[in-house]
Amino acid sequence: MRYFIKLSYDGAAYCGWQRQVGVATVQKSLEDALSTFLRTPIEVVGAGRTDTGVNASYYVAHFDVEKAVEDCAQLTYKLNMILPADISVFSVQAVRADAHARFDAVQREYTYYISQRKNPFRRYSSWQCYVPLDVEKMNQAAQTLLNYEDFTTFAKLNSNNKTNICHVTHAEWQRSSEDRDLLVFTIRSDRFLRNMIRAIVGTLVDVGRGRYTVEEFEQILHSRDLSKSSAGAPAQGLFLSDVVYSEEIYCVEE
């Protein structure tokens, strides 16, 4: 039987999602908790990698067990008792035997937070950037992302990507309705490259502070040259905020 497990995590204490030898990762923590409760070695497959320090307000992974889970709500409760405080499981749900958390995702959404004033409560969940930013120009530049498919300009070198093609369907900056000093960037695509969003955010902020014009941002994007983009934005402001699947994968045969 295959199950989707939906969770969130604060990435500050982890060297990213993916299991690595000798360091703390979210995948390893989740596998240890599942293996303890189910009393059998469990491997989980995630919807994608998040880098060191990056967070997820919504993440999906899948795992397999030979015997069906009798009570998914009870499993969810027990996992939250075992897992550290910075990882929280929302639900465990049976899916089709061939459902895949990574390859069946049709859309992913990331959110980036910038606090424009010193805020002690957001120091670990936003980039505290105090320079004045022209949000209108940042949005004009962000809209050009929808006109491109090749994001080599924002791809981390030596990542062994088979392709740097991504289909961005939404990219927008907004001010939080609850905190006018908090800028929120939301970007959606079928896939993202490693470090892509942080590189985009860093370059868009340089548009906002007047280092680049909107036209120069598009030239940077068109160049397919990582050296022309700005330094990546800090990890703590980035959250994986949604992963979308076809409803068909939840149609489980009895």
How many Å apart are CA 15 and CA 143, to the nearest integer?
Answer: 32
For 219, residues 6+ apart whose C-beta sits below 8 A from its C-beta are: none
Which value, in Å, is the radius of gyration of the alpha carbons in the chain? 19
Q: Between vectors from CA 112 to CA 239 and to CA 167, what angle results, nearest 5°? A: 85
| Burial of 248 (C-beta count, 10 Å sphere; 0-12/13-18/19+) | exposed
From the list 51, 104, 206, 242, the catalytic residue is 51
Amino acid letter, residue 26: V
Structural contact between residues 168 and 197, judged by C-beta atoms closer than 8 angstroms: no
How many Å apart are CA 118 and CA 108, to the nearest integer?
Answer: 30
Strand-strand pairing, 87-95 and 238-244: unpaired
E strand map for 85-196: 87-95, 107-115, 127-128, 168-175, 182-189
Task: Indicate if 71 belongs to the active site.
Answer: no
Q: Which pair of structure tokens corresponds to residue 191? A: 């896939």
Lookup result for tokens 């990435």: 11
Structural contact between residues 30 and 90, judged by C-beta atoms closer than 8 angstroms: no
The residues annotated with a catalytic role in the active site are 51
